[in-house]
Amino acid sequence: MITLGEYIVAKQYQFPEASGEFTRLLGSIRLAAKVVNREINKAGLVDIIGATGEENVQGEEQQKLDVYANEKFKAALEARGEVCGVTTEEEENFIIFNSKKQSHSKYVVLMDPLDGSSNIDVNVTIGTIFSIYRRISPVGSPATKEDFLQPGNKQVAAGYVVYGSSTMLVYTTGYGVHGFTCDPSLGVFYLSHENMQIPAQGNIYSINEGNYVKFPDGIKKYIKYCQERDEQTHRPYTSRYIGSLVADFHRNMIKGGVYMYPSFASAPKGKLRLLYECNPMAFLAEQAGGKATDGYRRILDIIPSELHERTPFVCGSRDMVDMVGDFMQEYSADGHPEYHKNIK
């Protein structure tokens, strides 16, 4: 059995310019994931569940595990000294690591330390999402905002950790998608899913249908299409929505399906964050043979303008994502939001 560390070292030849920094960077993410996983598994036994009584920069109520995961990932990334800066869902601004070694680091990390935190108290699957870029500011100087505001097609790596019936770390460096399952008796991630592929067509659609009346017409029409009976296309499709992007994406990655979080009246740009939720998942989806759009355009080509920018998100099996796009073009073509001006 091959461990995550062994696998990363074996693939170093794909990054001859990295000189070991990239390997150590992924190692720090692995370490923080193990620490967070340990605390998640103790939820209910120690005072780690529930809300803190405060809100994050998004205006969302922070959970205790949100704060804990945020601090552990920041600490692990800072301690290894392989990144010059980090931005997370829980921080209003990006964080600069100022030591001499860190200022000479080549990478920045963007992350959602604990995705799906509303599921914590009810023991439902949650996760961590991360995205890694090579800095564009001069090495040796402090990280700048521009280092973080890069389009998704500039990512050098992305991945997620899913904390569920088993704990898995899934990542890509642009050479396929690979999954590692944690052996809880040893605390070691072993290669369990090499070269993961999203089926081109699935029979699962994932969306919060409680917001149906607020959705664009194209999304409404697609949902009705999924619900219609058709023996040739094996419809109706199955509706599955967990409320954690990592969990829904991971299921569709393995079984095939489409995940949708569109815009609606109270969220004209959607609710998911482009930089540390949509971009990393889009990179993974494309590397696994899938696709990710905002309903019209490729997610990875969007030029971001702010750290916590939001975007509609359609991701998963290629044929299903394409069909959602067809419905959007036919029924919602007049609804292109203004942010499309930020797309090349």
The answer to whether 118 is a known ligand-binding residue is yes
3-state secondary structure of 331: helix
The answer to whether 305 is a known ligand-binding residue is no
The answer to whether 208 is a known ligand-binding residue is yes
The answer to whether 252 is a known ligand-binding residue is no
CA atoms within 13 A on the CB side of 42: 12
Cis peptide before 337 (omega within 30 of 0): no
d(CA 209, CA 223): 9
The answer to whether 183 is a known ligand-binding residue is no
The answer to whether 112 is a known ligand-binding residue is yes
- Full DSSP string of 177-206: EEEEEEETTTTEEEEEE-S----SS-SEEE
The answer to whether 121 is a known ligand-binding residue is no
Give, for 51, the enclosing helix (H) or strand (E): strand 51-55
The answer to whether 222 is a known ligand-binding residue is no
Angle subtended at Cα 263 by Cα 88 and Cα 146, rounded to the nearest 5 degrees: 35
Among 40, 33, 67, 73, which Cα is nearest to 51's?
A: 67
Residue 198, Cα to own-chain centre: how many angstroms? 16
Structure tokens at 22: 């990239």
Give, for 55, the enclosing helix (H) or strand (E): strand 51-55
Q: Crossing angle of helices 217-227/318-331, nearest 10°? A: 130
The answer to whether 149 is a known ligand-binding residue is no
The answer to whether 164 is a known ligand-binding residue is no
d(CA 52, CA 35): 20
Give, for 68, the enclosing helix (H) or strand (E): helix 64-80
The answer to whether 114 is a known ligand-binding residue is yes
Annotated binding site for Mg(2+): which residue ranges?
89, 112, 114-115, 277
Annotated binding site for substrate: which residue ranges?
115-118, 208, 241, 271
Annotated binding site: which residue ranges?
89, 112, 114-118, 208, 241, 271, 277
